Every structure is written in C-alpha cells, then in structure tokens.
Amino acid sequence: MATATAPSDQNPVDPAQGAVDLGVFAVPMGWLRRRPALVGQLRGFAVVAVICTVISMTIFAGLRPMLGTQWANAISLVLCSVLNTELNRRISFGLRTRVMWWRDQRRGMWVMLLALVMTSGSLWLLHEVDPGASIMLELAVIVLGNVASAVTRFLLLRYWIFHRVRHGV
C-alpha cells in the first residue's frame, strides 16, 4: 500500500530560478532580476573598473620612481579618467554617439577628483604611518581607495552624468 506524502513547503523550487538556495541574497537577487538595465550597467561598470585599475596601476608603477607617489597617482588617475568615462559611456550605459561627449568627459573629471582625493589622502596617511612603505603596499592602498570611491562613482555616473540614458534624453 502506497502512502501519500505531502509536498514540503520548506524550500519550494521555482523552475525559472533553478534549485539554488540564495539565502540572505534572495531578496537582493530578486530585486536585481526586476532591474535588468541596472544589472547590465553594474556588470559593465565592473568590467571597466578592472580594465582601468590595471592600466592606472601600470602607469602609477612606471611614473612613481621618477615623480613620487602623489604625482604618479594624480597623473595616472587623470589619464585613466578619460578612458574610464569613455568605456563607461559605451559598455555600462550603451552610448555610442559623440553627442554630449565633451560634457560627459568634463563631468567625468569631477568624478575622478573624488577618487584622487581618496587615494591621495590614503597615500598621505600611509606615509605618515609607514614612511618607507613598499610600492606593493602603495598599490594596495590606491586600489582600496578606488574601491571605496567606486560606489559613489557609479551613482554619479548613473544619476548625474548619464541620467539621460534612464530618461531617454
């Protein structure tokens, strides 16, 4: 004689989502699934961040012996700012035309100042604590400073520089 078993309500599986239990990430992931444009922008922003960080750190490492940490940091950030804004225009926000290019670049420079303040301040603090810090430690501090400013950078790009993408302007 076969016995009927009641379906378990503990972990219902939505076939569209697969059998993965997201735990604490279930709410944010559900929220993000309803915002595919934001997900695409975040994905593009992450790709651009990796590309620009590698290039910026390479420029910094090359200039540091000749110019010192602060000048090398400032020059690498200014040079990468134009690239960062252009890549974010194309990859993160899907803008392929030259319309408002100069305005976007000017605003991108203002956003770059945020990263410059954070990384320069972090380098200054590092050298106050450890005057003989190695280049590897300096690079780590710069990367951490850039990561700290990344959230604000994304928000400024999304809501100030490229708000026209969201509003169809």
Residue 120 has pLDDT above 50, yes or no: yes
Q: Residue 138 is which amino acid?
A: E
pLDDT (tens digit, 9 = 90+) per residue, 44-85?
Answer: 989 999 999 899 999 999 999 999 999 999 999 999 989 999
Q: Taking phi first (over 0 means left), then psi (-120 to 50 degrees means alpha), and beta for anything else, what does residue 18 get?
A: left
Per-residue pLDDT band for 22 (boundaries 50, 70, 90) equals low
What ranges do the domains of the chain cover?
36-167
Over range 125-151, report the average pLDDT.
Answer: 89
Model confidence band, residue 6 (pLDDT cutoffs 50, 70, 90)? very low
136: pLDDT confidence band, cut at 50, 70 and 90?
Answer: very high
Average per-residue pLDDT in the chain?
Answer: 81
On the question of pLDDT at 34 being above 80, the answer is no
